[in-house]
Amino acid sequence: MSAPKTADRIALVTGAARGLGAAIATRLAAAGHPVVLADVLEGVEDVAARLRAAGHAARAIRLDVSDEAAVGALPEALGDWWPRLSILVNNAGISPKVEGRKRPVAEIPLEEWNRVMAVNLTGPFLLSRLCIPVMRAQGWGRIVMMTSQAAHVPSSITGAYYGTSKAGLMGFARNLAAELGPDGITVNSVAPGRINSDMVAGAAPGMNEAFLARIPLGRFGEPQDVAEVVAFLVSDAAGYLTGTTIDVGGGSYMP
């Protein structure tokens, strides 16, 4: 079976209404992939409209990645796009804070813990599970998990549930990579450090400045910095990479 051509490699990007997800969807569209932008926010329609206005094939879907029934309805919603879905970027994520600061473990309500796990970890599981058969049928697929530097080291900014969910996501990516390699499907993680986005803008005064001082490259990342790495991982150039993590943090984390 020959691998599908770029224009037949449809990419689904979650959390695409803004921030990293919007940049990733835009970058993949520029590379020639038709893109499906999924998000809970209405603004996802605007991002898709901008891509269409620029001449790209793009569709928006309002979707809560943690909702099993809604995820299960995707193939029907996408119709004839579904059989060519071969790239999945599990980017949607949440990082609850209290007045811009992390909530200490002793004060985390179970409901908030469960919500973080549902969006950051179960969502990628539900979507990956859904996409496996259609990628297998094409004999080619790419799954990228948006994890975080907080999966490697405890963070002073994000709550323990965030780092825990992202470390879980990395573990899930490795298990999936081992299972799906024989099908021509690669699974990798991208672990951003501090990237300018709404999520980062919400930090309490002083926190971002303290983090900045620890970045050898002397600046926060831009969503584009992450989008470039994702574009590489879903390309043929990354065909021999699977089960790995690429850190995109300006050197703020060095294993």
Strand partners, 195: 221
41 is an interface residue for ligand NAD by CB under 6 A? yes
Give the residue, chosen from 148, 164, 188, 242, that forms a contact with ligand NAD under the rule CB under 6 A.
148
199 is an interface residue for ligand NAD by CB under 6 A? yes
Residues labelled as active-site residues: 161
Length of the chain: 255
65 is an interface residue for ligand NAD by CB under 6 A? yes
210 is an interface residue for ligand NAD by CB under 6 A? no
Q: Residues binding ligand NAD: what is the number (CB under 6 A)?
A: 29
35 is an interface residue for ligand NAD by CB under 6 A? no
At 170, the amino acid letter reads M
72, 74, 76, 82: CA torsion to nearest 10? -120
200 is an interface residue for ligand NAD by CB under 6 A? yes
Strand partners, 12: 36, 88
Residue 142 CB: number of other CB atoms within 10 A? 25
Closest to ligand NAD by CB, 24 vs 132, is 24
Give the residue, chosen from 36, 51, 119, 130, that forms a contact with ligand NAD under the rule CB under 6 A.
119
Residue 229 CB: number of other CB atoms within 10 A? 20
Closest to ligand NAD by CB, 80 vs 209, is 209
Shortest separation between residue 11's beta carbon and ligand NAD, angstroms: 16
195/82 Cα distance (integer angstroms): 31
143-174 CB burial, b ≥16 within 10 A, e <16: bbbbbbbbbbeebebbbbbbbbbbbbbbebbb
Give the residue, chosen from 35, 56, 85, 93, that forms a contact with ligand NAD under the rule CB under 6 A.
93
**Which residues of this chain interact with ligand NAD, rule CB under 6 A?**
14-15, 17-21, 39-41, 63-66, 91-95, 119, 146, 148, 192, 194-195, 197-200
